[in-house]
Structure 1
């Protein structure tokens, strides 16, 4: 079960965030300081928080400027919704759901008084009396003709029984609870009177039985799903693992319930959990008396006990070292070798780091970023195998103390975590936002305290500071590609980059075609800027090609003498040259024409299928622009990106695959 979309209201700086969707693996919340990113994560956690999290408090959590409304009794906290989310169910969740509800989603919310509510969406609605009244009366009339009074029921015909049950019910009365039970009992009592040869009445009986049961089925389903909601774990301050742990003292604090969970002890307890020991067990091992040398069995048992401790310590340090090195990469950082050592010495458990000379140094003598990384892995691995397995992770500004390039490596770690634990994290670091992850970004901003925190599902904001991390991320990646890749394909814009990258990945995975891995894709922002990028890259001695649309802007750029002189005609590629069917003023979207029309209809509600079929020679973008009021090339490309993650190249049309295989082959040949 993973969150599909969420909305936060009436929480601290958030008046109404607006509903925004979340990716099934990871979602990145970017925005400036004081925009409300942390508040968003805190509110989302209250959907299903761990037991030790403080509950919502109207005094602390309701928007301060409006608190007087609660004090004066104008607002009831039990009716103030703070957070609501719709969850997409996995196969295990759906196994329990009855037929007719297998495609449902689950909605959960929490109110300011900490009460919760839930329901199913995309499921049959609870029927009202008016929905079933006619069928009830027709069924009653049918069985009335087959009813034979007896001494026991001569005054209670099925029709009169039904009238007695439904007496006084208004048309909008929802059929649930006792009403549902009474009608089901009535249906059971008249079952034998339904003519089994009358298929119409048989179907009516079955339909009524199902519709009357919907409320009960829905209630059972939401009760079951409520128990399966993942725990939301917010890491706003990663707990540090200390370099020296006194085992007996820690065991005593655990025993008497005086743990300092907020700071010192939490990371240490996680480390012990990761090792498979508790503090008392390790402490007892450290003070066990030497066995009598004359008792070989006791001596062997004592040695086995100590060996087991050391082997477990060694196993943990190997696994942690492997993970840390995946981010820290000591080969590029002499003096910052990431070989973790765990040593049990009497009552002390020591955490040290072995440098490249083989010298062991206490963890707290390493850099702040290294300490943070070690603590993060210890805490996460311990939690992921414990109460928080399959949890949804909320990471607030992860990796702040890491160097910029370490943050880029840590981004891969977050992706790895998100494969099993849906992850939402906030950042204003451009190095924690990949240029290929912009469709996972949600921009958070707060224009004023009156409007509060807002979340944008597209890369847009009124405050330029909100978009700064994205601009910096793109700028850094572009700079890297400009001066490190010897083979470059220049594209008109970001959406072109997404289409080429996504389709190339689909064809590569299917084995149909492979874009040379050494070719960097460089978005120029507009067709007019392609010439500048081409000139700079060519001047560096790099091999360059450009892919241009065949609209007016692309035509103008393709005819520039400087571009032709720089690249040569064969390295200026045009979308129109690869289309199986000619399209006037074609753009890159026309190379995925049928698929985009289908995706736009199913995911965005943009239906141009009829026009696109009737006008095959017209650019699909021009059709969208004409018929869809809020059309956005960005939203269309983003929808395709999301689609490509869960589908294969076989779901493209034959013409689309052939067109893209042709263009990939041409690109590879142009930039050798």
Structure 2
């Protein structure tokens, strides 16, 4: 089951969000106190890998409505606080087909002579009307109950909820296959000096601890359980008894016995540390770290050394970044193994203490992790925003004191505060490109960047394009933004970058302006889409098959009027045609709608491209090279 999207209702600072689209990974960006954490916690509460994690009404229910909950039987607790849409496999689809088929037969037998006045039973006898799909909509309420429905890809409910009776094998099977969610924040970082009696006490009452202490105790529990270390045994193996409080009176037999026990303790700790070192090295390859454990009476200490610093240093004295990686590694290792191997990772403000270079490495590491586990994380750090995948960035902002989230970065942020890290990331990338000698291509908008980055990666993977340098596409917010950015780049690099413009009326005007100004001596570096699409007045979208554009438009806007590819002229630019269709169908196309189309195209791109289109792509990138 793959997470496709989710929405939150009445959870902490959230009273209701729109659907939040999730790909293999997603990044939530916003200022402090915008509520980023409150978008991760509902998912964790939805199906936590850590069984000790429970819904906490006192902290999770919106505080301004808390007084309206009248006991455990309150109707308010029956309201779902989260809805999650999953994509399921073909075998699971077959399970539901069988379920509804059997349910139909049983209903026909039991109610042959009975007719419900509201037609409910008739509906149950017609499973085909639900349209068995590859999507499941699962809701959860504050009582911990799941409600499972068939749905379409937009999250629209297409069936009554599947019987939740404990004898229903289908319901139980679904619940068993819902992915587990692993949540981690800075609060779980381990100390290097542990007093074992306190460790033992915290592990015995982990559910009673406050959030921060519980997170740390959770990491401790994982450390000891994963490495098969027992605090009681470590203390017992290191204990010493002095007759009459006089060490000199200890017998040779007692000395030998205690010596062997301490050797056994050393062997256990050394074996556990060796195992941990090996596993950490396979997981994080940014340093050759060696862990060692030391037990002294009731104290347990964690030391770290590496090739550059061979001396053993307490974990707490090493960098905050290493402490974060080590603690997160333990939680990830324990809560994602075995039956949790396909869990979904939720990381709250990761890498706060990392150097910018290490934060950039962390993005690469996240990409690596997301190959096997979907990953969602929050940040306000520009170095943790992947400018090449802005379609995966979600803006989080506060509106009248309530948390909101949007897949559309431009629409979400009128004051430009929430997405400041995104703007900074683009600026940093541009500056970095200037310093390290990347080839820069100026494009009008974010959608152009999405499309061209996708095309570049496709051509490189097929061996059709082999750039000498990394090629970076810098969006400048429309044709009007080209001049100031070009002037900066020209002043820094001493040469003009390629600029790709749409061939619509605005693009033509700015092409003429640039050719008579900055580019008067290098007009070949101002290129337009008409050159490659073979259409007059084309835009970047015309570099893609028209059926993909129409399909993506249909999936996003779901018009009441049927929309067919045959209704569009493939010889003309597609954007004006879609705008005309939207106007006739009464669909309002808000600012940023073309970015949403580009996201959908990128999400569904499978590498299958008509030869004619691929030749256009090759021609374009040969020009840019």
Taking structure 1 as the reference length, what is the TM-score of the superposition? 0.72
Aligned counterparts of 2:458 and 2:596: Cα–Cα separation in 1: 16
Q: SS of 2:621's equivalent?
A: helix
**Paired residue secondary structure (1:352):** strand
Aligned to 1:622: 576
Greater mean alpha carbon deviation, residues 48-57 or residues 88-97: 88-97
Equivalent residue number for residue 103 of structure 1: 133
**Which stretch shows the higher mean deviation, 247-256 or 76-85?**
247-256
**1:363-418 alpha-carbon deviations (Å, 9 max, x no partner):** 11223333223222233223322674332222222222223332222222233333
Q: CA shift at 1:91, angstroms?
A: 5.3
After superposing the two structures, state which structure 1 stretch, 314-323 or 248-257, moved more: 248-257
Residue pairs, 1:541-580, within 5 angstroms: 541-542=494-495, 544-559=497-512, 560-566=515-521, 568-579=522-533
What corresponds to 1:314 in structure 2? 274
Q: How does 1:312-461 map to 2 (within 5 A)?
A: 312-321=272-281, 323-326=283-286, 339-344=289-294, 349-354=300-305, 356-385=308-337, 388-449=340-401, 452-459=402-409, 460-461=411-412
How much does 1:472 deviate? Answer: 1.9
TM-superposition CA deviations, 1:200-259 (whole Å, max 9, x none): xxxxxxxxxxxxxxx99x964333202221223332444223324466875687579899
- Check 1:282–1:258 CA distance in 2 against 1; reply closer, same or farther (3 A cut): farther
Write out per-residue CA displacement over residues 545-577 of structure 1, whole angstroms, 9 at most, x where no aligned residue. 2222222222222223223335x1332222211
The SS at the match of 1:16 is coil
Contact 1:363 1:371 in 2 (8 A): yes
Aligned match of 1:48: 47
Q: Distance in 2 between matches of 1:252 and 1:22?
A: 40
Partner of 2:249: none
Instruction: Choose from 183, 188, 195 the match for 1:239.
Output: 188
Mapped pair 1:4 → 2:34: no
Whether the aligned pair in 2 keeps the contact of 1:30 and 1:427 (CA below 8 Å) is yes
Contact residue 495 and residue 633 of structure 1 kept, 8 A: no
| Preserved contact between residue 138 and residue 146 of structure 2 (Cα < 8 Å) | yes
Match of 1:222 among 171, 174, 181: 171
Secondary structure of the residue that 2:616 maps to in structure 1? helix
Distance in 1 (CA, whole Å) between partners of 2:470 and 2:159 is: 58
1:413–1:286 distance in 2 versus 1, CA, 3 Å = farther
- Write the deviation string for residues 9-45 of structure 1: whole angstroms up to 9, x where unpaired: 122222212332222x212222222222222322232
Q: Please give the residue correspondences for 1:9-28 in structure 2 after superposition, counting only pairs within 5 Å.
A: 9-23=9-23, 25-28=24-27
Compared with structure 1, are the counterparts of its residues 393 and 93 closer, same or farther at alpha carbon in structure 2 (3 Å cutoff)?
Answer: farther
Summarize the Cα distance change of 1:73–1:376 in structure 2 as closer, same or farther, 3 Å threshold.
Answer: closer
Instruction: Please give the residue correspondences for 1:190-339 in structure 2 after superposition, counting only pairs within 5 Å.
Output: 220-245=169-194, 250=199, 262=214, 265-279=217-231, 310-321=270-281, 323-326=283-286, 339=289
1:60-79 per-position Cα deviation (integer Å, ceiling 9, x unaligned)? 54333334544599972244
The aligned counterpart of 2:114 is: none
SS at match of 2:313: strand
Root-mean-square deviation over aligned CA pairs: 4.0
CA gap of 1:112–1:479, structure 2 versus 1, over 3 A, is same
Contact residue 608 and residue 627 of structure 1 kept, 8 A: no
| Counterparts of 1:491 and 1:307, CA distance in 2 | 61
Tell me the residue number matched to 1:588.
540
Give the distance between the partners of 1:251 and 1:56, measured in 2 at CA. 25
Instruction: Give the greater-gyration-radius structure (CA).
Output: 1
Tell me, yes or no, if structure 1 residue 664 matches structure 2 residue 621.
yes
- Distance in 1 of aligned mates of 2:562 and 2:97: 35
Q: Name the CA distance, whole Å, in 2 between partners of 1:233 and 1:266.
A: 12
Q: Deviations over 1:79-122 (max 9, x none)?
A: 43211212222456446443577634222222234443222325
How far 1:362 moved relative to its partner? 1.2
Are the counterparts in 2 of residues 442 and 455 from structure 1 also a CA contact under 8 Å?
yes
What CA distance in whole angstroms lies between the structure 1 residues aligned with 2:562 and 2:528? 25
Rate the CA distance shift 1:431–1:93 in 2: closer, same or farther, 3 A: farther
With over 3 angstroms needed to count, the CA separation of the structure-2 counterparts of 1:614 and 1:67, relative to structure 1, is: closer
SS at match of 1:409: helix
Alpha-carbon deviations, 1:322-371, whole Å to 9, x = none? 65552xx6xxxxxxxx6332134566654223262532221112233332
* Pair 1:655–1:446, CA change in 2 (3 A): same
Asked if structure 1 preserves the Cα contact closer than 8 Å seen for 2:89 and 2:134, the reply is: no
**Higher mean Cα deviation, 536-545 or 607-616?**
607-616
Secondary structure of the residue that 1:562 maps to in structure 2?
coil
Question: Match for residue 28 of structure 2?
Answer: 29
Note the alpha carbon deviations across 1:595-643, whole angstroms, 9 max, x for none: 3233333455468965776533421111122222334684444444454
Structure 2 unaligned segments of length 5 or more: list them: 99-127, 241-251, 254-258
Instruction: Indicate the larger mover: 491-500 or 366-375.
Output: 366-375
Instruction: Map 1:89-128; keep pairs closer than 5 Å.
Output: 89-90=88-89, 93-94=92-93, 96-98=95-97, 103-122=133-152
Tell me how far apart the structure 1 counterparts of residues 621 and 229 of structure 2 sit (CA, whole Å).
55
Q: Aligned to 1:227, what secondary structure does the other structure show? A: helix
Q: Which range moves more in the overlay, 517-526 or 432-441? A: 517-526
SS of residue paired to 2:189: coil
- The alpha carbon displacement at 1:667 in A equals 1.7
What 5-or-longer segments of structure 1 have no aligned partner?
A: 128-173, 178-214, 294-298, 330-337
Separation in structure 1 between the aligned mates of residue 265 and residue 197 of structure 2, nearest angstrom? 18
SS at match of 2:477: coil
What is the alpha-carbon distance in structure 2 between the residues aligned to residue 104 and residue 415 of structure 1? Answer: 26
Residue of structure 1 equivalent to 2:76: 77
Do the aligned residues in 2 keep the contact of 1:583 with 1:616 (CA within 8 Å)? Answer: no
Greater shift in the superposed pair: 301-310 or 620-629: 301-310
Structure 1 634/264 Cα, relative in aligned 2: closer, same or farther at 3 Å? closer
Matching residue of 1:601: 554
Deviation at 1:660, TM superposition (A): 0.3
Work out which of the residue numbers 409, 422, 425 in structure 2 matches 1:473.
425
How big is the shift at 1:502?
0.4
Distance 1:518 1:2 in 2: 32
Would you say how many aligned residue pairs link Structure 1 and Structure 2?
558
Q: Give me the whole-angstrom Cα distance separating, in 2, the residues matched to 1:220 and 1:386.
A: 22
Whether contact under 8 Å (1:46, 1:110) holds in the other structure is no
Alpha-carbon distance in structure 1 between the residues aligned to 2:621 and 2:74: 61
What SS is found at the alignment partner of 1:98?
Answer: helix
Deviations along 1:137-156, whole A, 9 cap, x unmatched?
xxxxxxxxxxxxxxxxxxxx
Which residue of the other structure, out of 638, 648, 653, is the alignment partner of 2:606?
648
